A and B are shown apart, each in its own frame.
Chain A
Amino acid sequence: MALKIIKPNFIIIFISALVLLISSNVKADRVVISNEGSDDITIIDLNTYEILNTIESGNRPRDMHYIPGTNSLLVAASEDDTINVIDMKTLKIIGNLETGDDPEIFDISPDGKVAVVSNEDDNEATVIDIKTGKIIRVIEDVGIEPEGVNFTPDGKYVFITSEGTNTIIIIDPWKGEIVEEVLVGNRPRRGAFNKNGEEYWVTNELGGTVSVIDTNTFLIKHTINFEKKGIRSSEITPVDFAMSNNGNLAYITLGRSKHVAVVNTNNYEVIDYILAGSRVWGAAITADDKTLIVTNGQSDDISIIDTDKRASIKSIAVGRTPHTVRIIE
């Protein structure tokens, strides 16, 4: 069980342990990758790294989230203006959620009942009831080109990154209100909560930095810079996160620089840079923190990274333009 959006809390760990117990005998642990160029999803065995299946999804599949309780994988099919619900037993699309136009990134409330999706073209965020598949409400004016979406660990608020406005917009999805707005670096792409929601980390793709926001004061408490000999600063384009489950490390994909940065979350120092593929962006980490998997958008493959060695140990060719990776354990 490794839904990277949910920070470990005891109930979830308990549930995951249960799910793990039940499922581990039945199905091997799997890695799923959405290929936005070839409109399909690659399923890989986490232990053998063999491709088990390639299944068709809606058009331009991007962000994905797995809901353990229902054994279903939600996939944003951007060009179809929907989220596909894929049953991970039969590998068939069993339903669709209404999303509004061009859903790219979404997140699921900690109770698994509601999804919030960013609608890049309409500057909106849409709140969806997962059970009925219907839109509950639409929140307008969440900045130009909203992208990253994260529920706070307590499920009260949603943080949205606005690529065009260079801000984080904090919304109350239950009331449908904008609560606060925080200026960060240029082209904020994705966010991740850390330290039980005390901090919100944001990648600034064009700024080449990561902003760490104190979620109590809404002030930027730290800005992480990346420097590596031989890499030009213009090539450092941070996109996605994988936060280690023990809370000590953040793995940040650096896009065009082909590297993944390893950051100590306690002192914000960059410990290391790991070489991955061309335009590395999506990231996920296993529950035991031993394996990091990243998608390489421009080389149509994924890199498997051993986090102890801090090195890529294998690359696997997948579909065209792999976008998001999730690990189902």
Chain B
Amino acid sequence: MSILAIKHVTQRFGGLVAVRDLEFEVDAGSIVAMIGPNGAGKSTVFNLITGIYKPSEGQIEFNGTQIQGRSTSAIAALGIARTFQNIRLFAFMSALDNVMTGRHTRMHATLADSMLNTPRARKEESRVRERSHELLKFCGLDEHANSYAANLAYGPQRRLEIARALASDPKLLLLDEPAAGMNPNEKNDLTGLIRRIRDTGVTVFLIEHDMALVMQISERIAVLDYGEKIAEGLPDAIRSNERVIEAYLGKPA
């Protein structure tokens, strides 16, 4: 069963067609990757899913409901969380506060609760704090809970973005180049982390340039080139697909 269905989506920016008539489905509980050369429109696809852009044409369905045109915060509340290609943490908030902020959409404290620190709000705060500590631990960040996000090294920053995204108990997690800038050790850890996330029942949809990592963990791969899907299938099929090789390496002379 598909959790996310992108149906005939086209996105134009003026005269430029960033995504053209894209058809793609993500199965619930799987790890799916989207690859393609720089500028192929991969991040645009994520931005369409999370409501930063409204598709010029087509529909996006999440769990059977159409989400295109809804606000980013409403889409987040439905259960889609993401990380960003160029890290966008809350730089001068502690790692713990970053994760607690990620929980925002699942919290219930009203303005009055926040102002008066009612017992209800206090209970919720301590529950969320506990849960956030667990998530930091899950992502291997427990010793950094009180550091500012800005003071973390690159790898931990990427993992903190994942922890923050997980805080909202998403059903679908979008990872935008999670391995960018990581060393081989960190990439290994990341592979394990992504698998463990999937094992908790979260569907993972990632964009990645690191082919080794993509081939290792993805169950399905879609390839985008100039905004069009040129191939889709199992990792092995993609590896030997001629159009894909052409897109990456150019036509043989």
Whether A and B are associated in the same complex: the answer reads no
